[in-house]
């Protein structure tokens, strides 16, 4: 699982690679066409239009390939890493803490705590699920990286070290990603 910082850096490198390759192709066309291309506010000609079109096509194609290769969200790629995806800690909602099984009322998901330390999750199955069996990520992991976890789990726990910050339910994840109402 990649962090927001790693995705922003990947988006920056992919964008810069697309920009450089687009400029190189445009320069190659400029040299190939005799160096007379003009594409600007004051004047333009056919060679300049071909150079500009070559840049746009190369830039777009390399961005497309980079998106497939580095798997970054479109906004991160198109802004050269300035806008990154949200971290998991931002989407996580706190879970109610239960000190013992007798305090659990059977409504919703709750975190079972013994001696101040979380030990399991109640409400996901017919029994207590130990924390090790529930999918969990660090708080700095990008939300866009959680999709494979939600294919198998209805809930993902978000940690900061040993502390449970909260949980992200499947419905909230899909709503955040734009797949739900």
Determine, yes or no, domain membership for 98. yes
How far is 111 from 43, CA to CA, in rounded Å? 68
Pair 16, 80: CB distance under 8 Å: yes
What is the tally of structural domains in the chain? 2
- Using the 3D structure, point to which of 25, 45, 78 is the last residue of a domain: 78
How far is 95 from 110, CA to CA, in rounded Å? 6
| 35 shares its domain with 92 | no
| 94 shares its domain with 172 | yes
Range of the domain at 70: 4-78
| 95 shares its domain with 153 | yes
pLDDT of 103 reads: 63
3-state secondary structure of 164: strand
Confidence check: pLDDT of 181 > 60 = no
| 93 shares its domain with 13 | no
Determine, yes or no, domain membership for 32. yes
| 72 shares its domain with 106 | no
| 135 shares its domain with 71 | no
**Which residue's entry shows tokens 């990008």?**
142
Q: For the segment 73-123, what is each residue's pLDDT rounded down to a tens digit?
A: 888 999 998 998 899 999 999 988 888 766 666 677 888 888 888 888 887
Q: How far is CA 101 from each of CA 133, 135, 152, rounded to the nearest angstrom? A: 19, 22, 26
How large a percentage of the chain has pLDDT more than 90?
34
pLDDT of 101 reads: 67
| 71 shares its domain with 92 | no
List the strands of the sheet with 155-160, edge to edge. Answer: 136-138, 155-160, 163-169
The answer to whether the Cα torsion of 148, 152, 156, 159 is positive or negative is negative
């Amino acid at each position: 699982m990649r962090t927001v910082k790693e995705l922003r850096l990947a988006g920056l490198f992919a964008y810069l690679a697309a920009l450089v390759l687009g400029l190189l192709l445009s320069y190659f066309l400029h040299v190939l066409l005799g160096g007379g291309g003009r594409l600007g506010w004051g004047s333009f000609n056919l060679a300049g239009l071909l150079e500009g079109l070559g840049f746009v096509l190369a830039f777009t194609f390399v961005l497309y390939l980079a998106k497939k290769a580095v798997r970054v969200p479109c906004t991160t790629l198109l802004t050269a890493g300035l806008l990154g995806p949200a971290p998991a800690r931002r989407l996580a909602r706190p879970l109610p803490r239960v000190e013992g099984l007798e305090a659990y009322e059977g409504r919703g998901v709750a975190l079972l705590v013994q001696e101040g330390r979380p030990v399991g999750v109640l409400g996901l199955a017919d029994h207590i699920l130990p924390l090790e069996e529930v999918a969990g990520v660090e708080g700095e992991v990008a939300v866009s990286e959680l999709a494979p976890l939600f294919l198998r789990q209805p809930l993902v726990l978000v940690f900061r070290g040993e502390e449970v910050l909260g949980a992200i339910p499947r419905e909230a994840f899909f709503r955040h990603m734009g797949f739900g109402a």
